[in-house]
Amino acid sequence: MHRLKDYEPIVGPQVVEELYLLAEKVKGLSIQNINSTAVGGGVAEILNRMVPLLKELGVHAKWDVIKGGERFFKVTKKFHNALHGRVESFTPEDFSVFLETGEENRKTMELTGNVMFIHDPQPITLINHKGNMDAKWIWRCHIDVSNPDQKLWNFLRPFIDRYDAAVFSAPAFSQELLVRQFLISPSIDPLSDKNRNLTEDTIRTVLERFHLDLDKPMITQISRFDYLKDPLGVIEAFKIVKRHVDCQLVLAGGEASDDPESTEVLARVREKAIEDPDIHVLAIPSGSDIEINALQTVSSVIIQKSIKEGFGLTVAEALWKAKPLVASAVGGITLQVTHKYSGLLCHSIEGAAHSIKQLLQNPEYARKLGENGREHIRQNFLLTRHLRDYLLLFLSLYHEGDIIYL
């Protein structure tokens, strides 16, 4: 496990020094993070690294996961889609399952933090415990809620309004709320197995395990198998590119324990991919960080063709590896990619195909975009900046309206 000083060569010693200064003011507080899955997806990815580093800074951070049955996670997946703007229909039972499971968790979990840091809608009703404890409550929304289903938003809003603060990943997601709002974008850990430099041997082993060889340029999308990541659209785009350039496609991803839809999506992707041996659909187990790193590292172009995206950690991961990237101009992706400077943004299958082709045919241009992307991530989306924002957030909960002197 890396220590904070290990980040100094990447971000500079002042950045790490400032974290210690800030943490000094937050020491003594306990921060209890709660979300709905320990593995799979961006939230778990971030908490995995954030919690140990907060501890190293002397902040008592912990992370707990709510429990729920299949019905609950079916409902929360519908919530997830509807908050992203997809049309879903809800029954009264959906809302009662959601409320009942929330209440069971409220009663059975040990809720002890001075700061209760609740991630996403699944555990949102834990706020019902607010009156029983002397704590500050933060609702951290990782979803693109710029255009949520209004009925669902109206249902959730009274819960959100009882928090002390709400945190969104991008300016476009902020909503009219009674609570203070903060803008904090996510981050990646440059030293994690997913993002550090790998040896050639390690990379070769991964490629052999997946029966991949690099005789053809490789286009890759790493994502949970979710319709919102549009894996079927990626295949369509790939088919267009292949008419012009001989290349292969890798769609790699796993399942998240809070996502009951992924098995169906994976099956549809496999069905669509079956006729083309150049399409490799890799179902990878959770914790496949080195495998993901290796796939990203050897790719000629990385694609992230999401229909909606809260932030898109996979985009940051690709850019940190200085990879040429084609990504949809949605949600948090637009914070990370400046079109034609640090990657290419697309709005359609045809647009994605055109951009991939352009990058494959212009390696020098592709290299330059990748380099710019890496620098943008270094400046804005590494874990140290995220830690700093969180420490300031905790501090500001106790100093509403004050100027905080560092």
* Cα separations in angstroms, 312 against 141, 153, 339: 14, 22, 16
User: Which of these ranges, 7-15, 71-79, 217-225, 347-355, lies near ligand UDP under the rule CB under 6 A?
Assistant: 217-225
Report the residue from 68, 113, 233, 253 that binds ligand UDP according to the rule CB under 6 A.
253
Minimum CB–partner distance for residue 60 and ligand UDP (Å): 26
What is the chain's length? 406
DSSP class per residue in 23-91: HHHHTT-EEEEEES-SSSSHHHHHHHHHHHHHHHTT-EEEEEE----HHHHHHHHHHHHHHTT------
- Does residue 373 bind ligand UDP (CB under 6 A)? no
Among 49, 78, 119, 224, indicate the residue that binds ligand UDP (CB under 6 A): 224
Q: Which two tokens stand for residue 368?
A: 């330059």
Residue 192 CA, distance from chain mean position: 15
Supply the minimum distance, in Å, between the C-beta of residue 404 and ligand UDP.
29
- Least distance from C-beta 405 to ligand UDP, angstroms? 34
Count of chain residues binding ligand UDP (CB under 6 A): 16
Nearer to ligand UDP, 261 or 317 (CB): 317
Cβ at position 20, least distance to ligand UDP in Å: 27
DSSP helix/strand/coil, 221 = strand
Phi then psi for residue 154, to 5 deg, are -65, -30
Question: Quick one: 165 or 282, whose CB is closer to ligand UDP?
Answer: 282
Residue 181 near residue 166, CB atoms below 8 Å:
yes
Shortest approach of ligand UDP to residue 374 CB, angstroms? 17
Shortest CB 310 distance to ligand UDP, Å: 6
CA torsion angle 54 57 60 62 (round to 10): 20
Within 185-305, strands assigned E span 218-222, 248-253, 279-283, 301-304
Stretch that binds ligand UDP, among 40-48, 158-166, 338-346, 386-394 (CB under 6 A): 40-48
Sites for ligand UDP among residues 310-369 (CB under 6 A):
311-314, 317
Q: How far is CA 384 from the centre of its chain?
A: 16
Q: Does 241 bind ligand UDP (CB under 6 A)?
A: no
DSSP 227: G
* Cβ proximity of 406 and 22 under 8 Å: yes
Residue 308 interacts with ligand UDP (CB under 6 A)?
Answer: no
User: Is residue 231 a contact point for ligand UDP (CB under 6 A)?
Assistant: no
| Shortest reach from residue 216's CB to ligand UDP, in Å | 23
CB of 158 to ligand UDP, least distance (A): 26
**Nearest-angstrom CA–CA distance, 133 and 138:** 14
> Of 165, 222, 273, 295, which lies in the binding site for ligand UDP, with binding defined by CB under 6 A?
222
> Please, what is the minimum distance in Å from the beta carbon of residue 206 to ligand UDP?
14
The residue at minimum Cβ distance from ligand UDP is 42
**Position of tokens 């041997």?**
201
Q: Which window, 9-17, 37-45, 71-79, 170-178, contacts ligand UDP (CB under 6 A)?
A: 37-45
Q: Pick from 284, 290, 307, 329 the residue near ligand UDP by CB under 6 A.
A: 284
For 358, counting Cβ atoms within 10 Å of its Cβ (0-12 exposed, 13-18 middle, 19+ buried), the class is middle
Residue 254 interacts with ligand UDP (CB under 6 A): yes or no: yes
Q: What does the binding site for ligand UDP look like in residue numbers (CB under 6 A)?
A: 41-42, 45, 194, 222-224, 253-254, 284, 292, 311-314, 317
